[in-house]
Chains A and B, each alone.
Chain A
């Protein structure tokens, strides 16, 4: 019933609009077409000016209303560079925006048709063309210069002391691997992937570097003020590691590992205080369309102090021992072995 009413109202609206439009044509014919046209011209000229003024107020209002909802301070060293570049660009483009839009609508209003005036025949001027070629060129050179300078800083090699974490995207979740005590991620091969045998990322157990690697899902832990290099991959389709708070992003491509590095500068706890939001959590979003669960492919990140991190990592058992319980020196009980064996079967 409600639907019917909505359709009926819409149809009525159409009908009325159409009748007004038709009537306006008749009026134009009655009053003299030329006269009616000039009147409409004035109205539209005024509307353009009104659009400019209300529009600029609207831009201001929109900014006031929404600026508190965009991200606050960046939570990484690279994020500071990204934001700085963003604000420099914003400043320059905003000036250009205001000048050009004001000129556009003001000229439209000011030079609307009038019987008193003739248009000014002005076909070209090399001087003017030169001015508005050179000024944008110089401005853009500055933006390109800064941009590339920051870009190389951000994409340059990670510092030697950076910790490594492997991030793997899959439909629709995240997996992480820590290199363990030897600080080396063991080799892997995709045909070894076998979650049932506790080998979700396809580690090659013959590689001793794999023996202390730790595997976790959905939640990544990082150390505050310590550079971290993410080694990124994907199992099935392209995903993207999006870290909005750190202003970092990198695609996860099956078959082609990618990397990025940054230094988190605030712990989760500090961010909770900064934002005044007790539920604050660093989120890891998939930013590349990856299938029907794309929108829900959420991971979280805990940034903590070195001590907290060490304690967390120590609580985890290397995946090698989970997959091969017989190699576990902490001597598992016989029945766990049986259970694992049953799972493998």
Chain B
């Protein structure tokens, strides 16, 4: 239905390609205000990497404080001045760092950096389209993200410092300028930045949905879509339905801060000042926030799941086990993602009956998650596995997803959550299951599709080192943290020496800090590998280096704008015919043979 319009567009682009040499695109329209989905994907990736370094650096700084609360680091004072007076990180600075670390990594890296990169790169290439449904909106989506980043970055440099109310930005703390320095202009900038970011994410999401629904090539029925595309589709739907709710929450908060409204404020006496606000509800914000906040977890996880499914299947030389079950479980997770938000609020005074409903719905998510895990395991079973760095990261993803998913069963159960809520256990849980696991999905994606992006390979040896240090480091950092949580140590405590009950983990905190510095250094090595390999990496010599079935490998090694020269290929089968009938792989473009067995 849509192929033909695609072909027309293709002709235009086709001419462009031939025009190589005499009317080349200018640098600006080719690399900066580009409308080519592949370039936009790379822009998201590189911007995401810059933010990941910044966010990671923040975590190293506050880990220094946590590991060595009594020690002075004069160098910090050199760089941060009053924020680190006497070489010690000051509480306001600490909370600014924690808040920015969370915001940057959750939204800028694991949402924009992950979805933005791979949805842009893979959707048109894997469904067989010349570009996104609206290349212009797509470009706009990147630039809104870029501006959001600039505003956030600016907030770090204002006199009173960045927002410091935690990445969840709960009012009244975030609504009251009197509450602290971080609640002054920094919080306004945070909210504005988030609003811009949400616009970016909506523009991107709408584009992904319409592209997947309308622009698939001939023969590419919905059940022949590779799993990353399905994952991106559900991710986009989640984002489009839930981000507007956060936007409304943020706007109401801006009103409360600047226009004297009382949406979230009531009965407040702060620093001896009695505020006039009455009748608002502080908990309302938490409902609005977590209505996005929980789907957000899956916005981060689903693309990683999709890519891991693809990468495991390709490198195990085996079809993904239970394609329909994988799809069904993605769908179930997407639906349930909207129905579990209040499990973040078990101890806010929520009606216990409502709490019990959310326990049921939350633990229900474990069922589709378990299906996915068992299907991945069965995909590996009796495969013939090539351990490329991408495969290793995919295996690491499954391992982390199991570990972090299981601790979710503790937290989703309100009875246990009474004790563990807002402790280090929560920090350990979500860092493993959505932080590190999604990063692993992202790394797997970068290693796997780097040849498509740049026509070169990443350095393998550095890739293996990157994987092993990160994998071992992630477990060393976050596994023992569960014990701190079981001991009841609350999150965001920058020094525990004043407490009798929480002061027994000094050595452990030191160990975690050292490991996290090493892991951070190895990420820098990856960044170096990335940029070095763009220019100097080993060249790809065959269009299909991994022997994969999907359409992106039917393009030239370095596809131009428009992706395919000539006609877009037609699809005749699902993408997972590996090791079928004695053949290593059968591309999607190959018609079903007369004697071929059914799957």
User: Which residues on A are within 8 Å of B, measured CB to CB?
Assistant: 3, 10, 13-14, 17-18, 20-22, 24-25, 28, 37, 40-41, 44-45, 47-48, 51, 55, 58-59, 62, 66-67, 69-71, 78-79, 81-82, 85-86, 89-90, 92-93, 96-97, 100-101, 103-105, 107-108, 111-114, 117-125, 128-129, 132-133, 136-137, 140, 143-144, 146-148, 150-152, 154-156, 170-171, 190-191, 193, 195, 202, 235-238, 240, 242, 244-245, 247-251, 253-259, 277, 279-281, 283, 285-296, 298
Contacts and interface: CB of A to CB of B under 8 A. Distances in A.
A122 B416 contact: no
A260 B414 CA distance: 14
Contact of B490 (A86, A103, A287): A287
Given A147-B363, A151-B356, 4 more contacts: A14-B528, A69-B504, A256-B283, A295-B494
A13 B469 CA distance: 14
B354 to A, nearest CB: 11
Given A100-B373, A147-B415, A151-B359, A108 B380 contact: yes
B402 A281 contact: no
A41 B347 contact: no
The winner among A120, A170, A202, A292 for most chain B CB atoms within 10 A is A292
Contacts of B578: 119, 121
Interface in B474-532: 475, 479-480, 483, 486-488, 490-496, 498-502, 504-505, 508, 521, 524-525, 528-529
Interface string B377-405: 11011111111000010010011001100
B352 A289 contact: no
Contacts of B158: none
B521 A10 contact: yes
Interface stretch (B201-209, B253-261, B264-272): B264-272
Contacts of A298: 498-499
A247 B415 CA distance: 10
Contacts of B269: 170, 190, 193, 202, 235-236
Contacts of A170: 269
B501 A245 contact: yes
A155 B355 contact: yes
A236 B373 CA distance: 45
16 contacts: A104-B376, A113-B384, A118-B582, A119-B382, A121-B318, A121-B580, A132-B371, A136-B366, A151-B355, A155-B352, A236-B269, A254-B172, A254-B267, A257-B349, A283-B501, A292-B95
A193 B271 CA distance: 11
Contacts of A251: 347-349
A85 B413 contact: yes
B267 A86 contact: no
B20 interface: no
Contacts of A17: 462, 465, 525
B136 interface: no
Contacts of A286: 490
A132 B370 contact: yes
A148 B356 contact: yes
B317 interface: yes
B33 interface: no
B555 interface: no
A245 B487 CA distance: 9
B382 A122 contact: yes
Contacts of A147: 359, 363, 413-416
Contacts of B86: none
A242 B422 contact: yes
B170 A107 contact: no
B499 A70 contact: no
A8 to B, nearest CB: 14
A144 B412 CA distance: 9
A123 B380 contact: no
B363 A292 contact: no
Interface in B406-433: 406-407, 409-410, 413-416, 418-419, 421-423
B371 A294 contact: no
Given A285-B488, A289-B173, A292-B180, A151 B480 contact: no
- Classify the interface of chain A: helix, strand, loop or mixed: helix
Given A21-B459, A298-B498, A62 B422 contact: no
Contacts of B91: 292-293, 295
A289 B483 contact: no
Given A25-B538, A120-B382, A247 B282 contact: no
Given A128-B378, A236-B179, A292 B164 contact: yes
A233 B180 CA distance: 20
Contacts of B402: 96-97, 100-101, 104
B342 to A, nearest CB: 13
B292 interface: no
Interface stretch (B143-151, B320-328, B558-566): B320-328
B282 A40 contact: no
A244 B499 CA distance: 12
B447 interface: no
Contacts of B525: 14, 17-18
Contacts of A117: 384
B213 interface: no
Contact of A285 (B180, B421, B490, B580): B490
B325 A236 contact: no
Contacts of B371: 129, 132-133, 136
A220 B370 CA distance: 45
B219 interface: no
| Closest 9 A/B residue pairs (Cβ) | A244-B488, A255-B266, A258-B349, A155-B352, A120-B382, A44-B387, A119-B579, A255-B267, A237-B173
A151 B414 contact: yes
A253 B348 contact: yes
Given A17-B465, A82-B418, A71 B488 contact: yes
Contacts of B265: 254-255
A66 B380 contact: no
B166 interface: yes
B419 A41 contact: no
Nearest to B495: A295
